[in-house]
């Protein structure tokens, strides 16, 4: 999954030969998981058809302030609504004519009206002939636009439509997408940070067939991983057996089964991370002996001697240097008291408390209701929310403490 997944992208297309590349650019944005709408200048339709871009974007393409209906009725295309809709606006290709108009506030078509109304970050990718690109007025337009906060995607060097060779080619669609993704990621609060997250249950073998486990689905941990990645972090997700799936360029998943395997994998990464969140439901006990063969039913009762597993969270608390360490507590009674004791005993910075007394919280639910306690015993209570929203709340609490 790309950092652009779920984002709303408004693509502005102007009248340059490089407009033919916008079909591929739209396809790449869609492939990244973004929603795309396209606004074209009236002259750009001579270079690429609205039908092509509408089909690829799966949205109507806007070329004028109003559309005529079948019975000569007119439907207004609101430049204000389009400007408010977008998370990011990209103008590609951006001709010398459009750059000059953008820089000087000229508003003589829908695309320029949308640009002047946009509340989001705006990227622009110039495309023109070599001499036009080097002209002082073009350079001045680019400088002006950058001074307004717009993001310049430099053109590449190569063969131009005129037959000349030099600077002025619109950057290739793959590079435009990469440029935008990189610009977004590098400005996120957890960029260059590493986050370790554990998720799911552990299974402790009794024999080759049977195991002792719990009902954890891993969903909370996976949502935490998504949230961390969307904040720009490189994420090491260590998961016990889980049906949850995640595809994100910043998430590295490591699958384990037992508490011992999770202990070993966590300790491989812990020293290199900035934040560790242990949301996995790790078994506290495991069978002392594992039968090499399937245990046959021989009587009404069977006794299994159990021994404690290694306490992963406590071991991390003892080794903690500069890491921000977060644990989870699932309680059924004396919730705040028990969670606070765990917080202090294991040297945590935050603990996230789940109570099985709360309807809709705990294992296998799509929702969760948490209380967060920090090392100063400040308590923050949250209402019942989706686990994705809970993950966002947890990271807000973490960010509020690591960037004070």
Measuring CA to CA, which residue among 57, 60, 49, 54 is closest to residue 19? 49
Residue 2 falls inside a structural domain: no
Residue 84 falls inside a structural domain: yes
Size of the chain in residues: 404
Residue 293 falls inside a structural domain: yes
- State the CATH number of the domain containing residue 370: 3.40.50.10300
d(CA 388, CA 78): 32
Measuring CA to CA, which residue among 64, 74, 67 is closest to residue 41? 64
With the CA atoms of 41, 42, 44 and 45 taken in that order, what torsion angle do they form, in degrees rounded to the nearest 10? 130
Two tokens, residue 401: 């403490």
Domain boundary among 133, 160, 186: 186
Whole-number CA gyration radius for the chain: 28
Number of domains composing the chain:
2
Residue 291 falls inside a structural domain: yes
Task: Determine the structural domain holding residue 225 and report its residue range.
Answer: 194-402
Two tokens, residue 289: 């002996």
Residue 127 and residue 246 in one domain = no
Q: Per the omega criterion (within 30 degrees of 0), is the bond before 131 cis? A: no
pTM value is 0.82
Per-residue confidence (pLDDT) for residue 404, from 0 to 100: 52
Domain boundary among 139, 167, 186: 186
Residue 1 falls inside a structural domain: no
Residue 198 and residue 229 in one domain = yes
Residue 125 and residue 205 in one domain = no
Q: Which of 59, 214, 338, 365 is catalytic?
A: 214
Residue 323 falls inside a structural domain: yes
Residue 144 and residue 212 in one domain = no
Residue 31 and residue 120 in one domain = yes
Residue 3 falls inside a structural domain: no
How many CB atoms neighbour CB 321 within 10 A? Answer: 6
Assess contact for 224 and 279: CB atoms under 8 A. Answer: yes
Residue 14 and residue 84 in one domain = yes
- List Cα–Cα distances, 222 to 199, 218, 260, 384, in angstroms: 7, 6, 21, 18
Per-residue confidence (pLDDT) for residue 158, from 0 to 100: 81
- Establish whether 274 is an annotated binding residue: no
Q: Is 214 considered catalytic here?
A: yes
- List Cα–Cα distances, 334 to 82, 131, 337, in angstroms: 52, 75, 6
d(CA 270, CA 276): 7
Measuring CA to CA, which residue among 399, 395, 371, 373 is closest to residue 383? 371
Residue 161 and residue 235 in one domain = no
367-391 in b/e form (b: 16+ CB < 10 A) is bbbbbbbbeeeeeeebeebebbbbb
Residue 304 and residue 368 in one domain = yes
Measuring CA to CA, which residue among 313, 301, 303 is closest to residue 263? 313
Per-residue confidence (pLDDT) for residue 387, from 0 to 100: 94
Per-residue confidence (pLDDT) for residue 307, from 0 to 100: 96
Domain boundary among 126, 159, 186: 186
- Establish whether 342 is an annotated binding residue: yes
Residue 41 and residue 152 in one domain = yes
DSSP state of 295: P
- Angle between the N-to-C axes of helices 312-319 and 259-269, in degrees from 0 to 180, rounded to the nearest 10: 20
Residue 276 falls inside a structural domain: yes
Residue 165 and residue 305 in one domain = no
Per-residue confidence (pLDDT) for residue 162, from 0 to 100: 73
- State the CATH number of the domain containing residue 181: 3.40.50.1950
Residue 144 and residue 249 in one domain = no
- Establish whether 294 is an annotated binding residue: yes
- Establish whether 320 is an annotated binding residue: no
Q: What is the pLDDT along the chain (404 residues), one digit of tens a residue?
A: 788 989 999 999 999 999 999 999 999 999 999 999 999 999 999 999 999 999 999 999 999 987 765 555 567 788 889 999 999 999 999 999 999 999 999 999 999 999 999 999 999 999 999 899 999 999 999 999 999 999 999 999 887 777 777 788 999 999 999 999 999 999 999 999 999 999 999 999 999 999 999 989 999 999 999 999 999 999 999 999 999 999 888 999 999 999 999 999 999 999 999 999 999 999 999 999 999 999 888 878 888 999 999 999 999 999 999 999 999 998 888 899 999 999 999 999 999 998 776 676 666 678 889 999 999 999 999 999 999 999 999 999 999 999 75
- Angle between the N-to-C axes of helices 50-57 and 22-31, in degrees from 0 to 180, rounded to the nearest 10: 10
Residue 53 and residue 170 in one domain = yes
Per-residue confidence (pLDDT) for residue 278, from 0 to 100: 98
- Establish whether 349 is an annotated binding residue: no
Alpha helix ranges (H) inside 11-120: 22-31, 50-57, 79-85, 96-104, 110-117
């Amino acid at each position: 999954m790309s950092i652009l997944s779920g984002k709303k992208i408004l693509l502005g297309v102007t009248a340059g030969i490089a407009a033919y590349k916008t079909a591929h650019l739209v396809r790449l944005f869609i492939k990244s998981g973004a929603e795309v709408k396209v606004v074209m200048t009236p002259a750009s339709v001579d270079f690429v058809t609205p039908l092509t871009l509408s089909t690829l974007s799966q949205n109507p393409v806007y070329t004028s302030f109003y559309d005529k209906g079948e019975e000569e009725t007119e439907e207004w295309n609101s430049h204000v609504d389009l400007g408010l809709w977008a998370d990011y606006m990209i103008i590609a290709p951006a001709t010398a004519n459009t750059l000059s108009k953008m820089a000087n506030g000229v508003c003589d078509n829908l695309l320029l009206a949308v640009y002047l109304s946009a509340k989001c970050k705006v990227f622009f990718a110039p495309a023109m002939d070599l001499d036009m690109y080097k002209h002082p007025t073009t350079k001045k337009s680019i400088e002006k636009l950058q001074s307004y906060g717009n993001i310049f995607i430099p053109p590449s060097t190569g063969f131009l439509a005129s037959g000349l060779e030099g600077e002025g080619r619109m950057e290739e669609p793959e590079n435009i997408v990469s440029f935008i993704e990189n610009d977004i990621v590098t400005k996120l609060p957890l960029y260059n940070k590493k986050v370790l997250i554990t998720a799911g249950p552990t299974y402790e073998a009794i024999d080759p067939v049977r195991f002792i486990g719990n009902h954890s689905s891993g969903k909370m941990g996976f949502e935490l991983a998504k949230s961390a990645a969307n904040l720009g972090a490189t994420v090491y997700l260590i998961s016990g057996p889980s049906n949850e799936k995640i595809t994100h360029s910043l998430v590295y998943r490591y699958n384990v089964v037992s508490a011992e395997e999770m202990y070993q994998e966590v300790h491989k990464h812990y020293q290199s991370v900035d934040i560790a969140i242990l949301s996995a439901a790790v078994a506290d006990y495991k069978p002392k002996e594992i039968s090499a063969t399937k245990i046959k039913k021989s009587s009404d009762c069977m006794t299994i001697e159990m021994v404690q597993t290694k306490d992963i969270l406590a071991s991390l608390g003892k080794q903690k240097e500069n890491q921000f360490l977060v644990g989870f507590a699932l309680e059924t009674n004396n919730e705040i008291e028990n969670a606070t004791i765990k917080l202090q005993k294991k040297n945590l910075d935050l603990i996230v408390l789940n109570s099985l007394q709360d309807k809709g919280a705990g294992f296998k639910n799509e929702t969760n209701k948490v209380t967060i306690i920090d090392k100063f015993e400040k308590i923050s209570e949250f209402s019942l929310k989706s686990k994705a929203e809970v993950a966002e709340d947890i990271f807000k609490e973490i960010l509020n403490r690591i960037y004070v």
